[in-house]
Homo-oligomer: A and B are copies of this chain.
Amino acid sequence: MKEKSLHIDGIDKIILKKLIDDARTPILSIAREVGISGAAIHQRLRKLEASGLIAGSKFVLNPKVLGYKTLAFVGIFLDAASKNSAAIKRLKEIPEVIESHYTTGNYAIFIKILCRDNEHLMNVLNVEIQNIKGVARTETFISLDQHIDRQISL
C-alpha cells in the first residue's frame, strides 16, 4: 500500500487549531474566517482523518468537579520483568489509573493516577497497586500544580 503524502497547508493548520481548541467549533465559522466554503473545510477534514492525523475528538471533563483533586505519577518496580503483561491487565481494572507506560529507566511501569484526595491515593497504592503480583515497590510523585497541558504544536 502506498502512503498518502500528508501536506498540511496554512488553511489546514487554522482548521486544526480551531478544532483542537474546541471540537464543536462550527465548520461555517472557520469557513468564513479562511474565506472558503464549509463543504471545502469538510473535505479537508475528511482528508486529514483519512491520513490518520486526527485520532478523534473528545469531551474533556474537569475531575475536580467530581471531587477528584489529587493527581499523581507512580513508578512501579517489578520483581520480574516477565510479570509485566499480567500487571498491566490488573492496572486496566483500576479506574483511578488514567495512563500507563512501559518505560526505560528506573521503573518497569510508569502510571498516572487520579484520586479524590491523598487518603484515596494512599488506599489505591497500598490496596490496589501493591497487591498486584510482581509489584516490588513504588515511588510516588504527587502533582501539586500543573502548568502545561497541551498537544503537539503544528
A residues touching B (Cβ–Cβ < 8 Å)?
6, 16, 19-24, 51-66, 68, 71, 73, 75, 88, 91-92, 95, 97-107, 110-111, 114, 139-153
Contacts and interface: CB of A to CB of B under 8 A. Distances in A.
Among A71, A91, A150, the one with the most B-chain Cβ atoms within 10 Å of its Cβ is A150
Contact of A104 (B19, B104, B141): B141
A145 to B, nearest CB: 4
Given A103-B143, A142-B103, A152-B114, A60 B61 contact: no
Contacts of A145: 101-102
Given A58-B151, A100-B148, 16 more contacts: A20-B61, A54-B61, A54-B62, A55-B61, A57-B60, A73-B103, A98-B148, A99-B148, A99-B149, A100-B147, A101-B145, A102-B146, A103-B142, A103-B143, A105-B139, A105-B142
B61 A141 contact: no
Given A98-B149, A149-B98, A22 B57 contact: yes
Among A6, A51, A62, the one with the most B-chain Cβ atoms within 10 Å of its Cβ is A62
